[in-house]
Amino acid sequence: MLTAKDIANHAADFVPLAPNVLYDKYRESFESLAVRLNQYIEDAVSVMREKGYHTLDQILATVAEVSGFAADDITSQNRKARLTQARHIFFYLSRKLNYSLMEIGRFSGFDHSTVLHGANNIDDVVVASVQDAYGYSARKIVNECKLRLGLI
C-alpha cells in the first residue's frame, strides 16, 4: 500500500526540495493522492483476478508451494539442481502468462537472458517429459502449477 510519504519521496526526485520538506508543504495533497492511488490499484487487481490474470507473486507462490521450496529460495542465486529447476518452472509459467523477459528478470533478480534460458529449458523438458535420477518430473510440477493457477 502506498503512503503519502512514499509519494513525496518519489516526487522529490523531480523537484529541488527534500522529501520531508515536500511532504510537509503538500501533505494533504499527498494523502489524498495516496488514497486515490491505492483505490485504483485495488480496483485494477480486482479486475485482473476476475479476468484470470496472475501476478508474478502469485505465480512464484504457486511454484514454491508445489515444488516445496520457499519463494525466497527460488529467487536466490542458489544453483542446486532441483532449486534451479523450480526457478526455471517459475520463468516458464511467467512467460506462458505473457510476462516479458525484462519483467520476470526485474522481479526475480536475474538477467533476461537467464530467464529465457530457463524458460526454454523447461519447455524442452516438458515436451520430452524427462525425469531425473530420483523420478522427479518437471512436467508433473508444471501441470500441478497450471492446475492451481486455473490454466488447465
pLDDT at residue 131, as a whole number: 65
The confidence band for 49, taking pLDDT boundaries of 50, 70 and 90, is low
Chain segment 16-27, per-residue pLDDT in tens: 888 899 899 999
Give the pLDDT confidence of 85-95 residue by residue, as tens digits: 999 999 999 99
Q: For the segment 90-111, what is each residue's pLDDT rounded down to a tens digit?
A: 999 999 988 999 999 999 999 9
DSSP 110: -
Q: Model's pTM, two decimal places?
A: 0.67
Q: Give the burial string for 82-103 (b: 16+ CB within 10 Å, else e).
A: ebebbbbbbbbbbbbbebebee
Bigger pLDDT: 132 or 119? 119
